[in-house]
Chains A and B, each alone.
Chain A
Amino acid sequence: MKRYVLMRVLKAILTIWFVYTLVFFLARLTGDPVEWMTAAGGASEEAKQQLRHNLGLDLPLSTQYIRSLAGLFTGDSGNSYYYARPVSELFAERIGYTLSLGGIVFLVTIFIGVPLGVFAAVKHNRPADRLTMAVAIVGNTMPNFVLGILLIFFFSLKLRMFPSGNIGEPLWRYYVLPVIALAVVPTASAARLTRSSLLDVVRQDYLDSARAKGVREWKVIFKHGLRNALIPVITILGAQLSTLIGGSVVVETVFAWPGIGTLIVNSAQQRDFPVVVFGVLVIASSVTIVNLLVDLSYGLLDPRIRDSY
C-alpha cells in the first residue's frame, strides 16, 4: 500500500511538472511577447529593449525557465504583463469567487442529484422514474454556456428576477443563475449514475436479508443500499471534475463573474502569458490532486486495486 501511494504521488507530481514545462515552452515559442505588447506601434527600439530587460525576457530561455520554476517554490509567480502586478496576487483576489461557486455547485450535485437518483430508482419503471430520467437526459446534454444565455434571457431580461452577471449586493442573488448554469450537468449526471448504481445494488442478497430482519424500507435503501451504490458515483463524478472546471471558465465569462476563469480567458485574449501559464498550473494541479485522492480512496476501498501494485 505504501508503495502504491508513493507511486501515485510521484506520478501526479511528474504530470503537473510536465504540463507546466510544456505550456511554458509552447508559450515562448510563439514569438516575443514584447512585440505583441507594442504591436500598436510607436515604441522605439530602446524602449522595447528596456521592457524586455524589465520583464526578464532578455535572458536565455533555459535561465527564464529555471527562474520561473524556482519562483514557484519561493512564492514568486512573476508579474502579469497587462496588470503589472504579481500573478499570485491577481489569483488570490479572484479565487474565492471561483471556489465558492464551485463549492455550491458541488453541494447542489450531492444534495439534489443523488436524492433524485434514489427517488427514480425507488420508483423504477413508473411514470415518476421515466419523467425524472427524461429531465436528467435533457439536462445532461445541456451545453452550459448556452444554458447561461437562456437563463439570462428568461430570468434577468424578461422576468427581471435575478441580475445577469458580475457581483453586488445582496450577494446570493448574484449566485443563483451561475450556479444553475453550472450545476445542471453534474446534477443530472449524478442522478442518472445514482439511479443505475442503486438499481444494481438493490438486486443484491444482503438487502433482502436486511429486509428479512425487519429493517424499514427507507433505511434499507438509504443505509444499506445507497452507501454501496455511491462508490462508483463518486469515482465517476471525480473523473468529471475536469469537465466541471473547464465549464466554469465559460460560465464565468457568460456572467462576467470576477473569478479566475474570466481572468484566464481575458489574459489569453491579451496574450498575457505569465497569467495563462500560472492559471494552467493551478488548474492542472487541482485536477491531478483530486484525481489522486479519488484513486487513493478507491485503493483503500477495494483491496484488489491495492494488491495490483
Chain B
Amino acid sequence: MKNPKRYRRQYGIPIFILFLIITFVAIMILSLLAPVIAPVDLAVTDLPNRLKDPVFRDPDSPYLFGTDDLGRDLAIRLLYGTRTTIMISFSGMIIATAIGAVFGIIAGLCGGTVDIIISFLTDVRLSVPTTFIGIICACILGANSFTIILVIALTGWSSFCRLVRSQIIQLKHVKFIESSRAIGASGLRILFEHILVNIASPLIVQATMSLSEFILLESTLSFLGLGIQPPNTSLGVLVSTGRNYMLTQWWLAIIPSMVIILLIFQISLIGDWLRDKLDPKLQNMT
C-alpha cells in the first residue's frame, strides 16, 4: 500500500513551488494586461513631475514607484517593460525550440554526413558566447526587438538540438520502436506516435530552463543599448536608464533589477522542480 505522505512528496506540488508558480503567472497576467491596466501610455512624458518620490518615501505620492527623468510613472513603465521582456523571450523560446527540435530530429534520424554537419554547426554556435552573438547581430542588423528574437533563436537552438538528437539516437534502438517498425509502421508514424511523445517531457523541461536564459539575454542586450530602444522599454532599458540616477533616485535602477532577479529565480526553480518530476534520471545532475 502506498504511504500517503510519500505519495504527496512524489507527485504533489511543494507549497514553495506552488507559490512561485502562482506569483509567476500573476506577474505574466499583469504585464500582458499592461495596456488595459495602465491609465496612460508608456511614452507620455510629464516634465513638471519629473523624478517624483515613490510611495515608500512620500506616503502622499500618487506614484507607486515614483517617476523617472522625463516624469513617466515607473510602475507603468515596469509593467510595459516586463511585458516586452516576457513577450520577446517567449517568442524566441518557441522559435528556438522548433528549430532545435527539427535539426535534432534530422540529425538523429539521418545520421551520417547530415549528423556531422549539424553537430559542426552546434560546435560553431557554442564557440561564440551568447552575448557576443547578440552584439554582432545588433551591430549588423541594428538594435530592435526582432534582432533580439533572432539572437535568441540563433543561440537557443543548439541545446534543444543536442537534447533531441541524443534522445532519438537512444530511442532508435529501443524494443517498442523496433517492433512497430517490424509490423510495418511508416517512418512518419513512428516519429509522431512514439518518438515525439517520448521526447516531449525533456523538451518541456529544457524550454522552461532556457526561458530564464532568454530573459537574461534580452535584458542584457537592452541594458547594453543593443536591444530595445527608447521610448519603448524593457527591464534592461529600465535598469540602464535608472543607473544614471543611482546617487539620488536609487529605486529607478534597483526596482527593475529586482524584477529581473525575481523572474529568473522563479523560472529556474520551477524548471528544476519540473526536471526532477518529469525525469527522475537527471535528479542528481546539478
> A residues near B, CB below 8 A?
11, 14-16, 18-19, 22-23, 26-27, 29-30, 137-138, 140-143, 145-146, 149-150, 152-153, 157, 189, 192-193, 196, 199-200, 236, 242-243, 245-247, 249-250, 253, 264-265, 268-269, 271, 273, 276, 279-280, 283-284, 287-288, 291
Could you mark each residue 70-99 of chain B with 1 if its beta carbon is under 8 Å from any beta carbon of chain A, else 0? 000000000000000000000000000000
A157 touches B224 (CB 8 A): no
Q: In the assembled complex, how far is the CB of residue A186 from the closest CB belonging to chain B, in whole angstroms?
A: 13
Partner of B135, one of A29, A247, A265: A265
C-alpha spacing A200/B284, complex, angstroms:
9
* Contact in complex: A143, B261 (CB < 8 Å): yes
**Does B285 contact A276, Cβ atoms closer than 8 Å?**
no
Chain B, residues 238-282, CB within 8 Å of chain A (1/0): the string is 010001001100100110010011001100110000000000000
8 Å CB contact of A271 from B131, B139, B216, B284: B139
Do residues B127 and A30 form an inter-chain contact, with CB atoms below 8 A? Answer: no
Q: Cβ of B135 and Cβ of A264 under 8 Å apart?
A: yes
A residues less than 8 Å from B225 (CB atoms):
269
Residue ID in chain B nearest A270 by CB atoms: B139
Give the interface centre of A268, A279, A288 by most chain B CB atoms within 10 Å: A268
- 20 more CB-based (< 8 A) A-B contacts, given A149-B239, A150-B254, A269-B226: A11-B123, A15-B123, A19-B127, A137-B268, A141-B261, A141-B268, A141-B269, A143-B216, A143-B264, A145-B223, A149-B243, A150-B257, A153-B253, A157-B246, A242-B127, A249-B135, A269-B225, A280-B136, A287-B126, A291-B126
Chain B interface SS verdict (over half): helix
8 pairs, A vs B, C-beta closer than 8 Å = A19-B128, A141-B264, A146-B260, A192-B286, A200-B284, A242-B127, A249-B135, A283-B132
Asked if B145 is at the interface (CB within 8 A of a chain A CB), the reply is no
Q: How far is A250 from B222 in the complex, measured between Cα atoms in Å?
A: 11
Assuming the contacts A138-B265, A242-B126, asked whether A146 and B120 have C-beta atoms less than 8 A apart, the reply is no
> Which of B138, B219, B246, B286 has a CB less than 8 Å from the CB of A193?
B286
Minimal beta-carbon separation of A9 from chain B (angstroms): 13
Give the interface residue-count category, chain B.
35 or more
| Closest A residue to B215 using CB positions | A143
Q: Please give, as numbers and ranges, the residues of chain A lying within 8 Å of B144 by CB-CB distance.
A: none
- Write out the residue numbers on chain A whose beta carbons fall within 8 Å of the beta carbon of B268: 137, 140-141
A30 x B140 contact (CB < 8 A) = yes
Is there a chain A Cβ closer than 8 Å to B212's Cβ?
Answer: yes
B129 on the A face (CB < 8 A): yes
Q: List residues 112-127 of chain B with CB under 8 A from any CB of chain A.
A: 120, 123-124, 126-127
- Interface residue? B36 (CB, 8 A): no
Main secondary structure of the interface of A (DSSP, over half): helix
- A19-B127, A140-B268 known; A250-B224 Cβ under 8 A: yes
Q: Which residues in chain B, 187-232, are within 8 Å of chain A measured between CB atoms?
A: 212, 216, 219-220, 223-226
How far is A287 from B125 in the complex, measured between Cα atoms in Å? 11
Question: Which residues of A lie under 8 Å from residue B260 when comparing CB positions?
Answer: 143, 146
Nearest residue, chain A, Cβ from B134: A246
Taken together as a complex, chains A and B put the C-alpha atoms of A287 and B265 apart, in Å, by 28
B141 within 8 A of A: yes
Cβ of B49 within 8 Å of any chain A Cβ, yes or no, is no
Distance of A149 Cα from B136 Cα, bound (Å): 24
Q: How far is the CB of B132 from chain A (nearest CB, A)?
A: 6
Chain B nearest CB: distance from A299 CB in Å? 16
Report Cα–Cα, A19/B128, bound state, in Å: 8
Among residues of B, the one whose C-beta sits closest to the C-beta of A267 is: B139
* Contact between chains at A280 and B128 (CB < 8 Å): yes
**Is B124 a contact of A18 with CB atoms below 8 Å?**
yes
Contact B124 A146 (CB under 8 A): no
Q: Is B45 an interface residue, CB under 8 A from the partner?
A: no
Which residue from B140, B223, B247 sits with its C-beta under 8 Å from A250?
A: B223
Q: Which of B127, B136, B253, B254 contacts A291 (CB 8 A)?
A: B127
* Bound complex: CA A225 to CA B3 (Å): 35
- In the complex, per-residue mask of B102-113: 1 if CB is within 8 Å of any chain A CB, else 0: 000000000000
- Docked pose: A287 CA to B261 CA in angstroms: 27
Q: How far is the CA of A196 from the CA of B260 in the complex (A)?
A: 28
B216 contacts across to A, CB distance below 8 A? 143
Residues of B within 8 A of A143 (CB): 216, 219-220, 260-261, 264
